Structure 1
Amino acid sequence: MGCYALLPLLVLSSVTGCCAVEEAQATPRAAQDAALRRFRRGWIWKQFFVPEEDPAPQIIGELKSDFDKGDFSIKYLLSGEGAGDVFEIDEYSGEVRTLKKLDREKKAFYILRAQAINRRSNQPVEPESEFIVKVQDINDNMPQFQNEPYVSIIPEMSPTGTTVMQVTATDADDPQYGNNAKLIYSIVQGEPYFSVEPKTGIIVTSMHDMDREAREKYFVIVQVKDMMGLSGGFSATTTVTVSLSDVNDNGPIFQHNHYSFAVPESAPVGTTVGRIKADDSDVGVNARMNYSLEEREGSGTFLIRTDPVTQEGVILLAKTLDYETKRQFFMAADAWNDHVDTRFLPYDEFRDRTHLKIVVQDVDEPPVFLLKVYEWKIHENMARGTTVGAVTARDSDAADNPVRYRIDKDTDVKKMFQIDPKNGTITVEKPLDRESAAWHNLTVTASEMKQSGLSSSVPVFVQVLDVNDNAPRFPREYRPYVCEGVQSGELVERISAVDKDEPPEGHQFYFTLVPEKRINPNFTLRDNQDNTASILTRRSSFTRQDRHQYLLPVVIADSGVPPLSSTTTVTITVCSCHPAGHCPTGGVEAFALTMGLSIQTLIGVLVCLLMATVLSILMLAVRRHKKHQQGESEEEENEPDPWEAASQKVLRYTEPGVEGDSGAGPPVPLRPHPRRKDRRQWRAEVAASIRLSLRQSCNIGPEDEVFRQFIQDRLFEADHDPYAPPFDCLRTYAFEGIGSSAGSLSSLESVATEVNAEQPRDPGPPFVRLTLWHGHTEEETNF
């Protein structure tokens, strides 16, 4: 390889941008003159024909710039085809070296570009130039026949020299360099029946008496050699199948008795594992193939199909693989023709068999959970730390790396559950409430405990089972009413209940009155045994004057284990109903009005009413106190009280002819004046009333009927308070006498009748005088 002549120096002119290459025919003197000749800003390097397959690294040339003074101020750069991969340059010396062996058959030459720059200024000192590195051919490729296998059909009894076919071989070596690619054909097998033309590879018959019945098929082995057949060259052979008036008398034949294939365990179903081919010297329909597989285990992991184009048997993956479960598969493959004609060949010879070995390759796989989905059940209200269940995953690889577990998803799920990262046990982090969430969906991830370990996830569903932890209650607030004059035993309200729990056999509610008030004189409660109860009247003649509302405590119990109960008070309002039984104010309408107002509004109204009441009482007390002080300053201490005197006045009747007051009725005293009451006692009563009002307003809600009853009681007391104005006064009534046909409307009629019965009267018109005390004034009226 090192015997090639060194080419003269090549000089590139930076001014013209051209390359000038001097050939090897120059004399030594001319080469010396060329070396001494200097061009301004020129390139100088040496060039070689690089033999292929030479070991690397190898120096193939050197780039030099006439600006290079040897002080390493020039930096050489290389670019182009193979720069940095196949070739490299020493940036200081400019030497170009190969980095790997070159193959001319892959690439015959490389076009490279060189550049020299100043290290300090980083500016080019020479324009970029282009040069070519040629790869010199050696005889390193053997000839190969093309379009194998060769099959030909010729008529039987063909004359000598009949062309059977032409075989063609090619050589990847350079045909322009030596004899490396010059081929010579010869017959190795097939004589004396066939011969081949040495340079063209055309096969012709050598005998004229070939008989199809005597021999149906001939296999002609043709050899080809390079280097014109000289020693040291390469050779190759091919088989040409020559059929005489072909019939299907040749069965399929596998090229190999054993085939081996490899497939990774992660390959999906349908992956092509490999191809096998059974050769048949026949052509056309007689060469059509069918393939079948016979597995020893009969697992059906693989299947085979015939490629309609190449007639190959394509082996496909039918099931997923697992390296840890089964690493090798052994099976037999059969090939046979579509059309069988037993006239020319026994039936057994139409079938061929080969053996297959398929190796499963290990692939790093993520951990595998034992179940695809985990579903557990747990009762609600279980204590923290209670075990819900455990997930299990293992590394299916041969290394069997340990795994760690974690719960994915949102933080709310993580607050409800906890998982042991080592064994996958899931526990309750805080008690669960079925009424809040009956199902919890978790995603558990298992990761290999190694660097860049794989991971896999599995869904986990947790169902929260119900326990009896909610007491039954009314579905809404009942506001029943009872009409005045209702009869005993009539339905007041039908009540029902609801429960947040969900017992397996459904709800069963029981309704009773509270034990201490089970015998109620006004109402009774009847359990209808269908999760409802009826409130019935126990007596008749309810009146609003007797009582405005009734409170009925009702106990509702469920059938859970353990059973739970709740007590709710039902407020029953007495209403003056319409004839049709509708309560316009005391029943549903009052309830709707109450529900329409918010609690804050009712409290505000209550406070305003209380403040107004207190202020009114205080102002009245102050006014009375001032009036009392003013009256004492104007009157003498021994002066009789006009109110006290007025209270001693009597109503007298006077008629003509009646002397004195013997006929008058008994005296009727008036109410005493409020000032006669002790002021200290009155102030104490006012203070007690204020305290009672405030205390009851704090203990009873504004929407409660007790509060409204309290307000009505206070109003009733104010209306009937004898010490509150206005005070009593006497009204005048006229007695028309016995002779009046209309009679008398006065309550004094009986008194007048008794007077007339005792003393005879003048039959003239009756006369009655009524004396009325009103305040401090005495008035008389004559009739």
Structure 2
Amino acid sequence: MHAWTVKMSTPSVLAVLMVFLMAPGGVLSDTRGTRGLEAQQLAPSSTLLHRRLKRSWIWKQLFVPEEDPTPRVIGQLKSNYDHGEFSIKYVLSGEGAGDVFEIDEYSGEIRALKKLDREEKAFYTLQAQAINRKTNEPEEPQSEFIIQVQDINDNVPQFQNEPYVSSIPEMCPVGTTVAQVTATDADDPMFGSNAKLIYSILTGEPYFSVEPKTGIIVTSWANMDREAKEEYLVVVQVKDMLGLSGGYSSSTTVTVSLTDVNDNGPIFQHHLYNFAVPENAPVGTTVGRIMAVDGDVGVHAKMTYSLEDDLEKSSIVIINTDPVTQEGVVLLAKPLDYESKSRYIMNAEVVNDHVDTRFLALDEFRDRTTLKIIIEDVDEPPVFLSPSYEWEVPENVAVGTVLGSVGARDTDIVNNLIRYSIDKRSDPTKAFKIDPNNGTIAVAKALDRETADWHNVTVEAKETTQNHLSSSVVVFIKVLDINDNVPRLARDYQPYICEGTQAGEVIQLLSSVDSDDPIEGHHFYFSMVPDKHINPNFTIRDNQDNTAGIVARRSTFTIKDQTQYLLPVVVADSGFPTLSSTSTLTITVCRCQPAGHCPTGGVEALALSMGISIHTLLGILVCLVTLTADAR
């Protein structure tokens, strides 16, 4: 019978590895120390054979403590063929053989050569052989065994995922989860308590607590107020070895911020706000600003300012909320008049835009204050009694005629004296004059509607005080038409009559113009100059539409008889009094073309009046042209 025997060499090792190798014939032997080996040697061979057939190779671990810098024997391997004669040579191979572990080839003692780190390598797998020194043949088949590096508490627990930042709502209930911190320990979690961690609070009590095993941080204080303290630094410690003495520890800081909830209502900084505004301030002027303080932030601090409901529509001011500063901007909504009312007192209120009745009653989300607005007196310019004036005057009115009066008053309490004047730029011809004391305007020059039918005169009213404040008003003066212009023919007519014209034919249509502008429009009447004898050649036919026609009274007009006729024409208007004018027209006799056109009426008439025929005149012109060409 033969077997490997593994012995433990030091009391500090927790277990003894006994590796049994196959004997010649493949029989297993399991011994536990020398006593077991002797017992096996005394056992009957049939019993050993029975055991060898049932069992396989058995090996156990050897242990070596980590971080031990001293070389030391950690165990011994020995074959039952080894009788102390050094005939057996022990050989070690595998992981770390030769540099980490060595075996005494004579005694089989295994020695650790250097300091080991379990966290770097937890175990080594090696093989052992027993060689016959004489034959150099194996006495035992090669056997594999493991050397386990035994853990010691040499690692500090480390927090993961730092830094820790968390936020919770203010006023949250006790037990609200804040965050979870997690630490790890590189030591062996399966060996003792080296990697057994426990958490505790170093800083942060009584507001926070931590669950010892999970690292979950929860609130332990009710009514934490963000407005009192917005941020907490919670220091959590972790210890290994379940917190027992001799272990390692580390700590981490959790930054806990309180987020805002609407647990504060707006409060005015003052119970009374006094403002002053001049009476001439335009609508939209900022009268002042009011401010309510809200301890909350963000959307919970938004607020709206307003006047009391019964003042909203009638008040001289409105209040808008400045979205940036959250102030109430008091704006002038109506014109002011110090002389009518010099001060106003009103109530304003502010209300949170977002109300949360979980924290405050409904009335606590609003506040009220009083506004006192003093109107300041301003020396104002005179005010005309009318925004403008409009008068009418006939164009033939006499110089000095009074057209009317303008009036202005000083609205200030002192009621200063006022003087009136006409702006020269609005009356460049100086057609009007004004009484500086009472504002009476009269005609200073004759007016002509046909020259200017409207006058827009600017009148200035100025106080006699040192400031000389003034204002102005426009007086619109319409000049009315009178019939002071005679009618006249519309143009310089040059009528002609063709030879062969029949009696009763119209040879010229006449119209008239008049510079006047009667209300009912123009009505012109055409006639001939009254005479004892009736004109035997022409007559005037009035069409009753402000036109008239010259009509031939006979049919025997020829150039040979007479080339021109003079015809006086009278044009009268319908004004009062009636005005008229007489124009004498020259009617030329013409040898007209078939269409009635008289192309050479003037030349032909001239030649005939000189006793020369048209053919003779044309011959003379041809000769003159020829002589001129030869001279060249």
Q: TM-score, normalised by structure 2?
A: 0.52
- Residue segments in structure 2 that go unaligned for 5+ positions in a row: 1-168, 175-218, 230-256, 613-632
Q: Distance in 2 between matches of 1:279 and 1:579?
A: 106
Say which of 312, 316, 333 aligns to 2:327: 312
- Residues 1:423 and 2:438 aligned together: yes
Query: How far apart in 2 are the matches of 1:258 and 1:582?
Result: 100
SS at match of 2:428: helix
1:441 aligned to 456, 463, 480, which one? 456
- Of the three residues 287, 291, 310, the one matched with 1:277 is 291
| Deviation per residue, 1:146-170 (Å, 9 max, x gap) | xxxxxxx977899xxxxxxxxxxxx
How far 1:244 sits from its partner (Å)? 9.3
Aligned to 1:353: 368
Letter in 2 for 1:264: P
Aligned amino acid, residue 540 of structure 1 = S
Offset, 1:245? 7.9
Query: Residues 602-625 of structure 1: CA distance to partner in whole angstroms, max 9, x if unpaired?
Result: xxxxxxxxxxxxxxxxxxxxxxxx
In structure 2, the residue matched to 1:321 is 336
**Which protein has the larger Cα radius of gyration, Structure 1 or Structure 2?**
2
1:534 CA drift (Å): 0.7
Classify 1:380/1:297 alpha carbon distance in 2 versus 1 (closer, same or farther; 3 Å).
farther
Q: Aligned to 2:536, which of 521, 535, 542?
A: 521
How many residues of Structure 1 are paired with residues of Structure 2 in the alignment?
373
Query: What's the secondary structure of 1:348's corresponding residue?
Result: helix
Q: Percent sequence identity over matched residues?
A: 62
Contact 2:590/2:605 (<8 A) preserved: no
CA deviations 1:425-470 (Å, max 9, x no partner) are 2222122111111222322211111223112223333222322222
Q: What residue in structure 1 maps to residue 415 of structure 2?
A: 400
Q: Give yes or no for contact 1:413–1:442 (8 Å, CA) kept in 2.
A: no
Deviations 1:490-517 (CA, angstroms, capped at 9, x unpaired):
2221111111122334322221223336
Over 3 Å counting, the alpha-carbon distance change for 1:509 and 1:345 in structure 2 is same
Residue 342 in structure 1 maps to residue 353 in structure 2: no
Q: Which residue of 273, 281, 285 corresponds with 1:259? A: 273
Partner SS, residue 413 of structure 1: coil
What's the counterpart of residue 507 of structure 2?
492
* CA contact 1:492–1:536 (8 Å) conserved in 2: yes
C-alpha displacement at 1:338, in angstroms? 1.1
Shift of residue 519, structure 1, vs aligned partner: 3.4
Give the 3-state SS of the residue equivalent to 2:550 in structure 1.
strand
SS at 1:432's partner residue? coil
Residue 303 of structure 2 corresponds to residue 289 of structure 1: yes
Unaligned runs of at least 5 residues, structure 1: 1-152, 159-207, 220-242, 594-707, 716-783
CA, structure 1 residues 584+275, in 2 after alignment: closer, same or farther (shift >3 Å)?
closer
Contact 1:296 1:330 in 2 (8 A): no
Residue 385 to residue 535, structure 1, CA distance change in 2 (3 Å): same
CA spacing shift, 1:289–1:573, aligned 2, 3 Å: same
The structure showing larger relative contact order (alpha-carbon pairs under 8 Å, at least 6 residues apart) is: 2
SS at match of 2:436: coil
C-alpha separation between the residues in 2 aligned to 1:550 and 1:476?
Answer: 19
1-side partners of 2:287 and 2:389: how far apart?
36
**Structure 1 residue 580: deviation in Å?**
5.5
- Of 564, 572, 575, which residue of structure 1 is paired with 2:587? 572
For 2:223, the equivalent position in structure 1 comes to 212
1:555-576, CA deviations, whole angstroms, 9 ceiling, x for partnerless residues? 2122334433222222323445
- Match for 1:260: what amino acid? N
Query: Offset at 1:300?
Result: 4.5
8 Å CA contact 1:472–1:556 kept in 2: the answer is: yes
Structure with the higher helix share, 1 or 2: 1
State how far apart, in whole Å, the 2-side matches of 1:493 and 1:529 are. Answer: 16
CA contact (8 A) 1:525 1:536 kept: yes
Over aligned residues, Cα RMSD in angstroms?
A: 3.8
CA contact (8 A) 1:550 1:573 kept: yes
CA-to-partner distance for each residue in 1:334-393, whole Å, 9 max, x for gaps? 101011112332222322111111111111222222344433333322221223343322
Aligned-partner Cα distance in 2 for 1:499–1:577: 34
Whether contact under 8 Å (1:484, 1:577) holds in the other structure is: yes
The whole-number CA distance in structure 2 between the counterparts of 1:247 and 1:317 is: 35
The Cα shift of 1:327 comes to 1.9
The superposition leaves residues 12-45 of structure 1 with CA deviations (integer Å, 9 ceiling, x where unpaired) of xxxxxxxxxxxxxxxxxxxxxxxxxxxxxxxxxx
**Residue 368 and residue 459 in structure 1: after superposition, are their counterparts in 2 closer, same or farther (change >3 A)?**
same
1:318-717 superposed matches below 5 A: 318-410=333-425, 413-516=428-531, 519-543=534-558, 547-577=562-592, 581-583=596-598, 586-587=601-602
2:499/2:589 contact within 8 Å kept: yes
Deviations 1:150-209 (A, max 9, x none): xxx977899xxxxxxxxxxxxxxxxxxxxxxxxxxxxxxxxxxxxxxxxxxxxxxxxx99
Q: Which amino acid aligns with 2:472?
A: S
Q: What secondary structure is seen at the aligned counterpart in 2 of 1:497?
A: strand
**Residue identity opposite 1:259 in structure 2:** Y
Q: Quick check: 1:331–1:357 contact (8 Å CA) kept in 2?
A: yes
Provide the residue aligned with 2:163 in structure 1: none
State the Cα deviation string for residues 228-266 of structure 1 (Å, max 9, x = none): xxxxxxxxxxxxxxx998642332222332221101123
